[in-house]
């Protein structure tokens, strides 16, 4: 797990080593164990190293083959590198290290760009071919590891984080005008776009080959298997599916235990992290090191008692920490690490637990992906139930929904009923979007100043859901698998993966997610939706397949999620900073009167708008930074 940067010049310019080192130094937190640069005639690679597998200097990067033809800068882990190494050795390739990076080098020499398809892991790769004068960029299947690309007429820059690109002395920082409404709707800007017009993220499960002439080609090398699903129409078929899930899950955990440094696990007390720790405990001869956090004074949001229960049952070496509202002092730090506004407030506890964990280990396994692969969210249930609502009833609910009173908190019964009724009145893409967004299109038009509000329209804000659901539908996927696919290419990609990567790498901690194992995901997506969501039971087959690993108290408890008591925290005096006069840059984008109404409404307790206030606070911190995008048009508050 590391940080990578690099450049490709198309005008004959030789890269400046001092500039490349400046870019590389921006990623020191991702790789505190070492650095390296490689300069070629028209290209350059930079690397910050977090040593995890083969701690010796022979595994340092950028790594080249003995002939000097190929050089690689790589961020991530290749879980099948040992199998690939054996295959390459049989083909006559000789290795100088025990690292997974060298498998990429020799794999490219043996198979060309097809090596990417054969890699199983989480990765962002940059490979310079000194004979072909081409730069290969590639990213893993679900987008666990980030890779951003900047292009103008003379150069291409790439980096694990946007801040490294912005450290280059000649980059166009003009804004993406659609970014603000997209962020306020989703909590992130949907990939591949960013807040910067010329900076994009590489698509997951894709590779690009760039030539010095400016020519480029790209391809998607993988996608989730979609329809028709395997039938589970008999007891034997269900039992066989259970056994397959069980075997694939244990194998996924086992492959993620390969490490030359200490490792542990996040333990929330939910089903997914419990399963991961239980599988680790079975595979280890020593107690697993586990880590969890809770929220001081907020028992409804505190899962530590469940984490302790699991830790005691499994005999782990457990450490926990309580988070107080003072953690909001971390927002400036988090704003720097995330580079762009990030609206998921659970980045706060994720950062805190990562920092706690890094004091003890270098690698941590997580339960990320269990809900995304096996349908663990209630919104999947709500969205699928809406498909059974006849058109005439949908029309009636659309008219009745505005009259349902708002609840004081996000989880209040009336508020849940109101949101459920609103969702039922809509078609599937809009129904999913309604559960996934913070501000509606109408609310954004009221909140944003006219020159920004013009981009707050359904075409901009809802296009990704419509496109992704249609793609899955065309492939023959049932409704649940359509929802899972859209969720994987939106929320998983741009929220969950981003949250965990930036929070953990901010402190030099590598995180691994067994539920995002390729074979396990592919099998789960090949199953009908009823295997994952049956009646009101989420993750149905996963629970059946691994029920012996889950304490009854964990299996039967309501789902809590890794949330934050934003509503309560934002109403306490110690967080009054959220209501102070806003930065001028924010008031150039949002209307002061609407902003004041929103914060006053939340402060009075009439409605829990904590998530929305958090979104605006993170936007304000971003706009106050010197590296903020350059507005296309002059604005005044």
Residue 87: give its domain's CATH number. Answer: 3.60.20.10
Q: What is the pLDDT of residue 110?
A: 98
Q: How many angstroms separate the Cα of 13 from the Cα of each of 129, 130, 266, 560?
A: 17, 16, 47, 54
Handedness of CA 108, 111, 114, 120 (dihedral sign): negative
**Six-digit token string for 406:** 């708002």
- Asked whether residue 231 is domain-assigned, the answer is no
Q: Report the C-alpha gap between 166 and 173 in whole angstroms.
A: 8
pLDDT band at 304 (very low <50, low <70, confident <90, very high): confident
For residue 131, pLDDT over 60 is answered with yes
Q: What is the pLDDT of residues 218-248, one digit of tens each?
A: 999 999 999 889 999 999 999 999 999 999 9
Average pLDDT over every residue of 34-43: 96
- Asked whether residue 492 is domain-assigned, the answer is no
Average pLDDT over every residue of 107-113: 98
Q: What is the pLDDT of residue 556?
A: 83
**Six-digit token string for 383:** 């969205």
Contacts of 76 (CB under 8 A, 6+ apart): 1, 2, 121, 122, 123, 124, 125, 140, 144, 145
Handedness of CA 66, 70, 73, 74 (dihedral sign): negative
Q: How many angstroms separate the Cα of 626 from the Cα of each of 171, 188, 514, 622?
A: 14, 20, 39, 9
Under DSSP, the state recorded for 454 is T
- Asked whether residue 129 is domain-assigned, the answer is yes
Q: Report the C-alpha gap between 564 and 295 in whole angstroms.
A: 8
Q: What is the pLDDT of residue 573?
A: 43
Q: What is the pLDDT of residue 574?
A: 38
Q: Which of 367, 324, 358 is nearest to 568 (CA)?
A: 324
- Asked whether residue 55 is domain-assigned, the answer is yes
Instruction: Indicate the range of 437-451, 489-503, 606-620 predicted with least confidence.
Output: 606-620
Better-predicted residue by pLDDT, 449 or 562: 449
Reduce the DSSP state of residue 331 to 3 states and report it.
helix
Under DSSP, the state recorded for 169 is S
Q: Report the C-alpha gap between 598 and 602 in whole angstroms.
A: 6
Q: Report the C-alpha gap between 552 and 557 in whole angstroms.
A: 8
- Can you say whether residue 561 is alpha, beta or left, with left for phi > 0 and alpha for psi between -120 and 50 degrees? left
Q: What is the pLDDT of residue 421?
A: 64
* Number of domains comprising the chain: 1
Q: Report the C-alpha gap between 40 and 17 in whole angstroms.
A: 10
Q: What is the pLDDT of residue 398?
A: 65
How are strands ordered across the β-sheet holding 148-151?
A: 34-39, 43-49, 2-9, 155-159, 148-151, 199-201
Is the preceding omega at residue 404 within 30 degrees of 0, hence cis?
no
β partners of residue 34 = 49
How are strands ordered across the β-sheet holding 510-512?
A: 317-323, 289-295, 263-266, 363-365, 510-512
Q: What is the pLDDT of residue 283?
A: 95
- Asked whether residue 153 is domain-assigned, the answer is yes
Domain span at residue 53 reads 2-220
pLDDT band at 382 (very low <50, low <70, confident <90, very high): confident
For residue 494, pLDDT over 80 is answered with yes
- What is the distance, to the nearest Å, from the Cα of residue 26 to the centroid of all Cα atoms in its chain? 21
Instruction: Indicate the range of 159-173, 211-225, 297-311, 329-343 predicted with least confidence.
Output: 297-311
Burial class (CB in 10 A: 0-12, 13-18, 19+), 473: middle
Q: What is the pLDDT of residues 574-602, one digit of tens each?
A: 344 445 546 788 989 999 989 888 887 87
Q: What is the pLDDT of residue 406?
A: 60
For residue 390, pLDDT over 80 is answered with no
Please, what's the b/e burial string for 282-318 (b: 16 or more CB within 10 A of its CB; e: otherwise)?
A: eeeeeebbbbbbbbeebeebbbbebbbbbbebbebeb
Q: What is the pLDDT of residues 55-99, one digit of tens each?
A: 999 999 999 999 999 999 999 999 999 999 999 999 999 999 999
Q: Which of 470, 489, 488 is nearest to 479 (CA)?
A: 470
Handedness of CA 49, 55, 58, 64 (dihedral sign): negative
Long-range contacts, 13-22 (Cβ 8 Å, 24+): 13/42, 13/154, 13/155, 14/39, 14/41, 14/42, 15/39, 15/40, 15/42, 15/43, 15/44, 17/44, 19/168, 19/169, 20/44, 20/46, 21/46, 22/167, 22/168
Q: Report the C-alpha gap between 424 and 387 in whole angstroms.
A: 8
DSSP secondary structure, 78-135, as one string: ETTHHHHHHHHHHTT---SSS-SHHHHHHHHHHHGGGHHHH--EEEEEEEEETTTTEE
Q: What is the pLDDT of residue 425?
A: 63
Q: What is the pLDDT of residues 314-354, one digit of tens each?
A: 999 999 988 776 666 788 999 999 999 999 999 988 999 99
**Six-digit token string for 191:** 């990939």
For residue 410, pLDDT over 60 is answered with no
- Asked whether residue 309 is domain-assigned, the answer is no
| Residue 34: HSE in the Cβ half-sphere, 13 Å Cα cutoff | 15
Q: Which of 27, 38, 36, 31 is nearest to 70 (CA)?
A: 38
- The reported pTM is 0.93
Q: What is the pLDDT of residue 568?
A: 61
What angle separates helix 179-186 from helix 458-474, to the nearest 10 degrees?
Answer: 60
Q: What is the pLDDT of residue 575?
A: 41
Cβ–Cβ under 8 Å, residues 330 and 351: yes
**Six-digit token string for 142:** 């679900």
Q: Which of 144, 128, 146 is nearest to 136 (CA)?
A: 128
Average pLDDT over every residue of 4-27: 95
**Whole-number mean pLDDT of the chain?**
90
Handedness of CA 507, 509, 510, 512 (dihedral sign): negative
Better-predicted residue by pLDDT, 229 or 397: 229
For residue 418, pLDDT over 80 is answered with no
**Six-digit token string for 39:** 């300069």
For residue 285, pLDDT over 70 is answered with yes
- Asked whether residue 611 is domain-assigned, the answer is no
- Asked whether residue 433 is domain-assigned, the answer is no
Instruction: Indicate the range of 4-13, 124-133, 170-179, 399-408 predicted with least confidence.
Output: 399-408
């Amino acid at each position: 797990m590391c940080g990578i940067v690099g450049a490709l010049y198309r005008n004959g310019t030789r890269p400046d080593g001092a500039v490349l080192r400046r870019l590389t130094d921006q990623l020191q937190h991702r790789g505190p164990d070492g650095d390296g640069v490689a300069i070629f005639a028209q290209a350059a690679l930079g690397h910050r190293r977090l040593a995890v597998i083969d701690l010796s200097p022979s595994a340092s990067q950028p790594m080249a083959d003995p002939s000097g033809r190929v050089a690689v800068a790589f961020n991530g882990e290749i879980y099948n590198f040992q199998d690939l190494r054996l295959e390459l050795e049989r083909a006559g390739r000789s290795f100088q290290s025990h690292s997974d990076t060298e498998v990429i080098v020799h794999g490219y020499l043996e198979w060309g760009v097809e090596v990417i398809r054969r890699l199983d892991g989480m990765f962002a790769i940059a490979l310079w071919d000194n004979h072909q004068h081409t730069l290969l960029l590639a990213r893993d299947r679900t987008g666990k590891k980030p890779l951003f690309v900047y292009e103008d007429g003379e150069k291409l820059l790439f980096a694990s984080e946007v801040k490294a690109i912005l450290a280059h002395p000649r980059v166009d920082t003009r804004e993406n005008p659609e970014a603000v409404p997209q962020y306020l709707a989703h909590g992130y800007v949907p990939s591949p776009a960013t807040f910067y017009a010329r900076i994009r993220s590489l698509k997951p499960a894709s590779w690009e080959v760039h030539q010095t002439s400016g020519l480029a080609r790209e391809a998607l090398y993988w996608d989730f298997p979609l329809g028709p699903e395997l039938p589970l129409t008999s007891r034997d078929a269900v039992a066989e599916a259970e056994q397959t899930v069980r075997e694939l899950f244990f194998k996924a955990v086992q492959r993620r235990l390969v490490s030359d440094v200490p490792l542990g696990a996040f333990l929330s007390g939910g089903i997914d992290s419990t399963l991961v720790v239980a599988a680790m405990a079975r595979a280890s001869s020593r107690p697993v090191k586990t880590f969890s956090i809770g929220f001081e004074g907020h028992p409804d949001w505190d899962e530590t008692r469940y984490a302790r229960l699991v830790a005691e049952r499994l005999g782990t070496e457990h450490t926990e920490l309580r988070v107080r509202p003072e953690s909001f002092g971390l927002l400036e730090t988090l704003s720097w690490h995330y580079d762009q506004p990030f609206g998921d407030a659970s980045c706060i506890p994720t950062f805190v637990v990562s920092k706690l964990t890094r004091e003890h280990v270098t690698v941590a396994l997580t339960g990320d992906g269990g809900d995304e692969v096996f349908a663990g969210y209630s919104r999947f249930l709500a969205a699928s139930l809406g498909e059974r609502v006849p058109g005439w009833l949908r029309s009636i609910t659309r008219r009745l929904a505005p009259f349902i009173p708002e609840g004081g908190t996000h989880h209040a019964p009336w508020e849940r009923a109101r949101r459920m009724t609103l969702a039922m009145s809509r078609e599937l893409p809009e129904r999913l979007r309604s559960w996934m967004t913070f501000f509606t299109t109408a609310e954004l038009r009221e909140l944003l100043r006219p020159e920004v509000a013009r981009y707050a329209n359904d075409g901009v804000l809802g296009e990704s859901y419509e496109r992704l659901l249609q793609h899955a539908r065309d492939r023959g996927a049932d409704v649940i698998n359509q929802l899972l696919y859209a969720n994987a290419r939106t929320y998983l990609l741009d929220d969950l993966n981003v949250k965990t990567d930036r929070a953990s790498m901010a402190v030099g901690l590598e995180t691994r997610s067994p539920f995002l194992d390729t074979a396990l995901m592919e099998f789960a997506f090949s199953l009908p939706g009823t295997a994952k969501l049956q009646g009101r039971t989420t993750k149905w087959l996963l629970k059946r397949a691994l029920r012996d690993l889950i304490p009854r108290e964990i299996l039967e408890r309501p789902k809590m999620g890794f949330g934050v008591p934003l509503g309560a925290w934002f109403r306490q005096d110690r967080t009054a900073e959220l209501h102070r006069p806003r930065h001028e840059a924010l008031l150039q984008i949002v209307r002061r009167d609407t902003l004041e109404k929103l914060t006053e409404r939340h402060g009075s307790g009439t409605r829990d708008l904590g998530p929305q206030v958090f979104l605006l606070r993170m936007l304000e911190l971003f706009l106050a930074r010197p590296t903020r995008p350059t507005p296309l048009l002059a604005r005044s508050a």
